Structure 1
Amino acid sequence: MSSSPASAAPAVLTPERLASAYSYAAYRQLIDELLAQGRTTGPHQSEALLHYAKLNEQRMSRLDKTVQLLPEVTTELARLQGRYVWLVITEGWCGDAAQLVPVIDAIARASGGHLSTRYLLRDEHPDLMDRYLTGGVSRSIPKLVVLRADTLTEVTHWGPRPAEAQALLLELKAQGATHEEYAERVHAWYAKDKTRSTQQELVGLLRQFA
């Protein structure tokens, strides 16, 4: 790993590319418009993906209304000095994204302008996605990349899911669970956890640069 200072690091993406990214409101609007056409994001369309996208819209809507930030989150947000972009690589059909993106955005909105979120679709930006492969092989999403707002250089990154959920997923896959089986178990974990693990891991992220 390079030991060069962050100021000398290359930008993760150009300002023009960042400007093309969605705000959270625009990302949600895109999903709604595509669902109205019987579609979801990405080049691949199927009844299964459309089914997941509909469920995910409901999950995001519920979380938008119910996320309550933990005290430790607001404490770390109060310590922020600089300005950062939280760049999220996502897709509308992704169940983990539906569980995590509203939490990410809620934290950014509570930051007093120190954090702003932008969203890019995984399959429209494969070169960027391939910089953040899970285990060096998987294009798992969502991925949160923390950038300095002035230089667009990387501070840190996180994803595609909290560590406990990731461990559960890997255990179920090792046991030969089907996609439907492990999706049900993982979403049950999210429901029981009530965003706590996600928020606590993002607190750890904040402490890296607050």
Structure 2
Amino acid sequence: MAAEPTATPVLAPERLAGAYTYASYRQLIDELLAQGLTTGPNQSEALTAYAKLNEQRMSRLDKTVQLLPEVTAELARLQGRYEWVVLTEGWCGDAAQIVPVLEAIARASTGRLVTRYLLRDDNLDLMDRYLTGGVSRSIPKLIVLHADTLTEVAQWGPRPAAAQELLLTLKAQGATHEEYAERVHAWYAKDRTQSTQRELLDLLRQLA
């Protein structure tokens, strides 16, 4: 599923500097919701409702995510510095479940990992280099870059393997968007970020 890391910079420093911080990403979502809108060019009452629900999910996870001891230990072993570029959108349910975990890990890294958030639909040229299965613009997508060269080290996403398998199974069975969204979010609730953290732990071990 993962492509070979590129030997050239994934994006220009100026583009990276213009990315959102977590705080400014959350602020953007809140400001748009206040106008009855969400991120991206497509707007509908349904998407805005998803974005509002996702804002609540992120706020809850911001308060409740507890990093696994193994993740904390691996962070302490990190030597280099890395940019964590995250392709996301406010209406994306998977992003709401995963972005707070990415942010929690980065914050616990004491500056070794710096998160940068880019909206998928404003960065389709980048998104199309990281398609899931070679066809799908699935998000969130984490692209790990060396901080000095902005070359790719690793990538992850759009969701833990178990959640991806569940989603594909439900779609193959003909489930509607509402049906598979409900099942997948129930999976996230039961999993309590454990699978996400363990897969990201494997990624961190690639960086050590």
| TM-score > 0.5, shorter chain as reference | yes
Q: Percent identity?
A: 80
CA shift at 1:164, angstroms?
0.2
Stretches of 4+ aligned residues off by more than 4 angstroms: none
Q: 2:162 aligns with which of 161, 164, 183?
A: 164
Whether 1:121 aligns to 2:119 is yes
Q: How many residues align?
A: 207
For 1:31, the equivalent position in structure 2 comes to 29
For 2:107, the equivalent position in structure 1 comes to 109
The letter for the 1-side match of 2:44 is S
For 2:14, the equivalent position in structure 1 comes to 16
- Quote the Cα distance in structure 2 between the aligned partners of 1:9 and 1:195: 32
Whether 1:66 aligns to 2:64 is yes
Give CA-to-partner distance per residue, 1:119-175, whole Å, 9 cap, x none.
000000000000000000000000000000000000010000000000000000000
- Quote the Cα distance in structure 2 between the aligned partners of 1:87 and 1:175: 34
With over 3 angstroms needed to count, the CA separation of the structure-2 counterparts of 1:18 and 1:180, relative to structure 1, is same
Give CA-to-partner distance per residue, 1:166-193, whole Å, 9 cap, x none.
0000000000000000000000000000
Q: Secondary structure at the match of 2:63?
A: helix
> For the aligned residues, what is the CA RMSD?
1.5
- Quote the Cα distance in structure 2 between the aligned partners of 1:170 and 1:89: 21
CA shift at 1:9, angstroms?
1.3
For 2:85, the equivalent position in structure 1 comes to 87
Q: Within 5 A, what are the aligned runs for 1:138-177?
A: 138-177=136-175
Q: Secondary structure at the match of 1:207?
A: helix
Taking structure 2 as the reference length, the TM-score comes to 0.97
With over 3 angstroms needed to count, the CA separation of the structure-2 counterparts of 1:32 and 1:10, relative to structure 1, is same
Taking structure 1 as the reference length, the TM-score comes to 0.96
Stretches of structure 1 lacking an aligned partner (at least 5 in a row): none
- Quote the Cα distance in structure 2 between the aligned partners of 1:126 and 1:118: 16
CA shift at 1:209, angstroms?
1.2
